[in-house]
Protein backbone atom coordinates (compact mmCIF):
# COMPACT_ATOMS: atom_id res chain seq x y z
CA UNK A 1 0.00 0.00 0.00
CA UNK A 2 1.22 3.49 -0.80
CA UNK A 3 2.05 5.78 2.10
CA UNK A 4 -0.34 8.43 0.77
CA UNK A 5 -3.18 5.92 0.88
CA UNK A 6 -2.42 5.03 4.52
CA UNK A 7 -2.43 8.73 5.37
CA UNK A 8 -5.87 9.05 3.78
CA UNK A 9 -7.14 6.21 5.97
CA UNK A 10 -5.91 8.18 8.99
CA UNK A 11 -7.51 11.40 7.76
CA UNK A 12 -10.81 9.56 7.35
CA UNK A 13 -10.53 7.85 10.75
CA UNK A 14 -10.02 11.26 12.35
CA UNK A 15 -13.58 12.25 11.39
CA UNK A 16 -14.83 9.75 14.00
CA UNK A 17 -12.80 11.28 16.83
CA UNK A 18 -14.74 11.89 20.03
CA UNK A 19 -12.87 14.86 21.47
CA UNK A 20 -15.39 17.25 23.09
CA UNK A 21 -12.99 18.25 25.88
CA UNK A 22 -9.73 18.92 24.08
CA UNK A 23 -11.23 19.71 20.67
CA UNK A 24 -8.16 17.96 19.24
CA UNK A 25 -9.18 15.22 16.83
CA UNK A 26 -6.69 12.50 15.93
CA UNK A 27 -6.91 9.69 13.40
CA UNK A 28 -4.61 6.71 12.96
CA UNK A 29 -4.25 3.94 10.41
CA UNK A 30 -2.10 0.93 11.20
CA UNK A 31 -0.89 -1.19 8.28
CA UNK A 32 -0.44 -4.85 9.14
CA UNK A 33 2.07 -7.14 7.40
CA UNK A 34 -0.84 -9.00 5.81
CA UNK A 35 -2.00 -5.78 4.15
CA UNK A 36 -4.97 -5.12 6.41
CA UNK A 37 -5.50 -1.61 7.77
CA UNK A 38 -6.76 -1.01 11.31
CA UNK A 39 -7.98 2.48 12.01
CA UNK A 40 -8.44 4.37 15.25
CA UNK A 41 -9.50 7.75 16.58
CA UNK A 42 -9.15 9.33 19.99
CA UNK A 43 -12.01 8.66 22.38
CA UNK A 44 -12.25 11.09 25.30
CA UNK A 45 -14.21 10.76 28.52
CA UNK A 46 -15.76 13.11 31.09
CA UNK A 47 -13.32 11.46 33.51
CA UNK A 48 -10.44 12.90 31.50
CA UNK A 49 -7.80 10.34 32.47
CA UNK A 50 -9.74 7.58 30.74
CA UNK A 51 -9.15 9.12 27.32
CA UNK A 52 -7.69 6.74 24.75
CA UNK A 53 -5.44 7.87 21.92
CA UNK A 54 -6.13 7.08 18.28
CA UNK A 55 -2.94 5.04 17.85
CA UNK A 56 -3.67 2.73 20.75
CA UNK A 57 -7.25 2.21 19.58
CA UNK A 58 -5.83 1.03 16.25
CA UNK A 59 -3.29 -1.31 17.91
CA UNK A 60 -5.85 -2.80 20.26
CA UNK A 61 -8.33 -3.36 17.43
CA UNK A 62 -5.68 -5.23 15.45
CA UNK A 63 -4.34 -7.33 18.32
CA UNK A 64 -7.86 -8.21 19.47
CA UNK A 65 -8.45 -9.62 16.00
CA UNK A 66 -5.32 -11.75 16.13
CA UNK A 67 -3.02 -9.46 14.13
CA UNK A 68 0.36 -8.62 15.70
CA UNK A 69 2.75 -7.78 12.87
CA UNK A 70 2.84 -4.27 11.50
CA UNK A 71 4.69 -2.28 8.85
CA UNK A 72 3.60 1.30 9.32
CA UNK A 73 1.23 3.66 11.08
CA UNK A 74 -0.12 6.93 9.76
CA UNK A 75 -1.34 9.58 12.18
CA UNK A 76 -3.39 12.60 11.17
CA UNK A 77 -3.97 15.55 13.49
CA UNK A 78 -3.46 19.24 13.99
CA UNK A 79 -2.33 22.10 11.78
CA UNK A 80 1.11 20.55 11.46
CA UNK A 81 2.08 16.86 11.63
CA UNK A 82 1.95 15.68 15.22
CA UNK A 83 4.04 12.89 16.72
CA UNK A 84 2.58 10.04 18.79
CA UNK A 85 2.57 10.51 22.57
CA UNK A 86 4.97 8.56 24.75
CA UNK A 87 2.36 6.01 25.83
CA UNK A 88 1.50 5.22 22.22
CA UNK A 89 5.19 4.88 21.31
CA UNK A 90 5.57 2.30 24.05
CA UNK A 91 2.50 0.33 22.98
CA UNK A 92 3.62 0.34 19.34
CA UNK A 93 7.13 -0.75 20.38
CA UNK A 94 5.73 -3.91 21.94
CA UNK A 95 4.73 -5.26 18.55
CA UNK A 96 6.78 -3.35 15.98
CA UNK A 97 10.07 -1.78 17.13
CA UNK A 98 10.98 -1.15 13.45
CA UNK A 99 7.65 0.44 12.58
CA UNK A 100 7.52 3.29 10.08
CA UNK A 101 5.65 6.23 11.64
CA UNK A 102 4.04 8.61 9.16
CA UNK A 103 2.93 11.84 10.81
CA UNK A 104 0.54 14.06 8.89
CA UNK A 105 -1.47 17.18 9.51
CA UNK A 106 -5.25 16.87 9.79
CA UNK A 107 -5.74 17.05 6.03
CA UNK A 108 -2.88 14.74 5.15
CA UNK A 109 -1.07 17.40 3.15
CA UNK A 110 2.10 17.89 5.17
CA UNK A 111 3.86 14.67 6.08
CA UNK A 112 6.89 13.74 8.19
CA UNK A 113 8.33 10.27 8.62
CA UNK A 114 10.42 8.55 11.27
CA UNK A 115 11.20 5.06 12.43
CA UNK A 116 9.78 4.13 15.83
CA UNK A 117 13.32 3.45 17.04
CA UNK A 118 14.15 7.12 16.47
CA UNK A 119 11.09 8.23 18.43
CA UNK A 120 11.71 5.74 21.24
CA UNK A 121 15.43 4.99 21.37
CA UNK A 122 16.57 2.16 23.64
CA UNK A 123 12.93 1.24 24.23
CA UNK A 124 11.77 -1.30 26.77
CA UNK A 125 10.15 -4.27 25.07
CA UNK A 126 9.56 -8.02 25.26
CA UNK A 127 13.29 -8.71 24.74
CA UNK A 128 14.14 -6.61 27.79
CA UNK A 129 12.19 -9.02 29.97
CA UNK A 130 14.14 -11.99 28.61
CA UNK A 131 17.58 -10.40 28.90
Q: Does 88 bind ligand THU (CB under 6 A)?
A: yes
Query: Of residues 3, 8, 19, 90, which one binds ligand THU by CB under 6 A?
Result: 19
Told to check if 22 binds ligand THU by CB under 6 A, we report yes
d(CA 67, CA 122): 25
55 is catalytic: yes
Instruction: Give the span between the Cα atoms of 28 and 48, in whole angstroms.
Output: 20
* Catalytic choice (3, 4, 12, 55): 55
45 in contact with ligand THU (CB under 6 A): no
55 binds ligand THU (CB under 6 A): yes
Report residue 72: phi and psi, to 5°: -155, 155
Nearest to ligand THU of 80, 85 (CB atom): 85
Other Cβ atoms within 10 Å of 18 Cβ, number: 13
Closest CA to 19 of 38, 39, 45, 40: 45
101 near 115, Cβ under 8 Å?
yes
Question: Is 84 a binder of ligand THU (CB under 6 A)?
Answer: yes
- Residue number with CB closer to ligand THU (2 or 102): 102
The span of 6-14, 30-38, 84-92, 96-104 binding ligand THU (CB under 6 A) equals: 84-92
Give the span between the Cα atoms of 79 and 62, in whole angstroms: 28
Instruction: Cite the active site residues.
Output: 55
Amino acid sequence: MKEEELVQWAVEARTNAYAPYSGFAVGAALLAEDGRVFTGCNVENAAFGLTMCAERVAVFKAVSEGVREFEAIAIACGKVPCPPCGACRQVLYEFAPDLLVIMADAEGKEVQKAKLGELLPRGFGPKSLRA
